[in-house]
Amino acid sequence: MVSLRAFGRGVVPALFGKLECTNPGGSMKDRAARGMIDWAEREHNLQRGARIIVCTSGNMGVGMAMVCAVKGYQLMCLVDAKINPATERCLRVLGAEVVKVYQRDETGGYHLTRLARLESLLAEYPGAIYLDQYNSPAAVAAHTASTGPEILKALEGRVRAVVMVAGTGGSSMGVARFLKSQSPGTDIWLVDEKGSLALPGNAGAAPRHLNGMGTSIAPANYASAEFDEFVDHIVYVQAEESIRAAIALARAEGILVGGSGGAAVHVMRNLAAQHYGPEDNLVALLPDHGSRYTETQFDPDWLAARGINVPEIFNVDEEI
């Protein structure tokens, strides 16, 4: 947990970032990966050599590939064309098999194409176990047991609001569950990319560019009756403001996070902060490190090809 004093210059409450890039696989998904494989061991009595399949935007695959390397399971990662080349390479180095789909589905995302491919893989590999991170009480529980308590402990119980991004819902629902039970005065802010179908009440599908956050299906992890009780505010962002915020954070604090972390700090600083006072601590959960995105979200040509306006010459003072 780090104080973001320079990035939070000019706003009233104190801003903090929880740097999940410090997990061994480089993202917060390590926690859910370990929790889901522990669950599969209990549920399916996994033996060495068992084949596990996971649909992943990358980080969950890295977390699972680490665990599978140690335990001797064969991991197959079903990814799509949006995956960062660096993450894909990490998966292969860790011994995972990578199956990639390129066709967008009718929502403009890839998830439905991945699910169709999953069906054929399950037919091809009888006995393979599909671990569905979109519907995983074990993933949620991993964050309830670790990420949530770490946030509260780091700030000695004084957390007024937490800003998290929406993906499969494992991290946000897990952290929210812990905080709402142990610190009911903590507000939960959820951030999604415009065009994502992850959250109840979304405005419909549209093309999205950020990696890791946003989905083209509604994850069961968010479908609980507790959603309204857990989530106080929902905010939709665009890739442009999120990537700009990630760059502003990097230049102001020397902390390089991915675009989803950029989305979280953008909302924390420019929106959530307006609601709180000088005694309040706000925390953004920053899912991963930015170094894996040098060929995508931080590459001028990649940005230009998608019409995302992030200037190379960047005035941090104007931006924050």
Ligand X SMILES: Cc1ncc(COP(=O)(O)O)c(C=O)c1O
CA distance 110 to 123: 20
Taking CB under 6 A as the rule, does residue 297 contact ligand X? no
Instruction: Enumerate residues 271-290 that contact ligand X by CB under 6 A.
Output: 287-288
Of 76 and 164, CB closest to ligand X: 164
Site string for ligand X, 143-162 (x = CB under 6 A): --------------------
Contact 29, 62 (CB under 8 A): yes
Of 113 and 211, CB closest to ligand X: 211
Pairing assessment for the beta strands 14-19 and 2-3 based on DSSP bridges: antiparallel
| Shortest separation between residue 20's beta carbon and ligand X, angstroms | 9
Taking CB under 6 A as the rule, does residue 84 contact ligand X? no
Taking CB under 6 A as the rule, does residue 168 contact ligand X? yes
Site string for ligand X, 175-214 (x = CB under 6 A): ------------------------------------xxx-
CA distance 58 to 211: 9
Taking CB under 6 A as the rule, does residue 172 contact ligand X? yes
| Shortest separation between residue 145's beta carbon and ligand X, angstroms | 14
CA distance 135 to 85: 27
Taking CB under 6 A as the rule, does residue 165 contact ligand X? yes
| Torsion from C-alpha of 83, 87, 90, 91, nearest 10 degrees | -40
Of 130 and 280, CB closest to ligand X: 130
Identified binder of ligand X from the candidate list 8, 17, 169, 195, rule CB under 6 A? 169
Residues 6+ apart with CB under 8 A from 43: none
Identified binder of ligand X from the candidate list 61, 109, 167, 195, rule CB under 6 A? 167
CA distance 163 to 175: 10
| Shortest separation between residue 247's beta carbon and ligand X, angstroms | 16
What is the number of alpha carbons within 13 Å of residue 25 lying toward its C-beta? 27
Identified binder of ligand X from the candidate list 23, 59, 216, 296, rule CB under 6 A? 59
CA distance 209 to 213: 9
Taking CB under 6 A as the rule, does residue 170 contact ligand X? yes
Which tokens hold the place of 3?
């104080």
Of 14 and 115, CB closest to ligand X: 115
Of 14 and 75, CB closest to ligand X: 75
Instruction: Enumerate residues 210-269 that contact ligand X by CB under 6 A.
Output: 211-213, 258, 260
Categorise residue 102: left if φ over 0, alpha if ψ from -120 to 50, beta otherwise. Answer: alpha
Identified binder of ligand X from the candidate list 107, 171, 296, 297, rule CB under 6 A? 171
- Order across the sheet with 2-3: list the strands: 2-3, 14-19, 281-286, 161-165, 187-193, 233-237
CA distance 228 to 221: 13
- Site residues (vs ligand X, CB under 6 A): 27, 29, 57, 59-60, 165-172, 211-213, 258, 260, 287-288
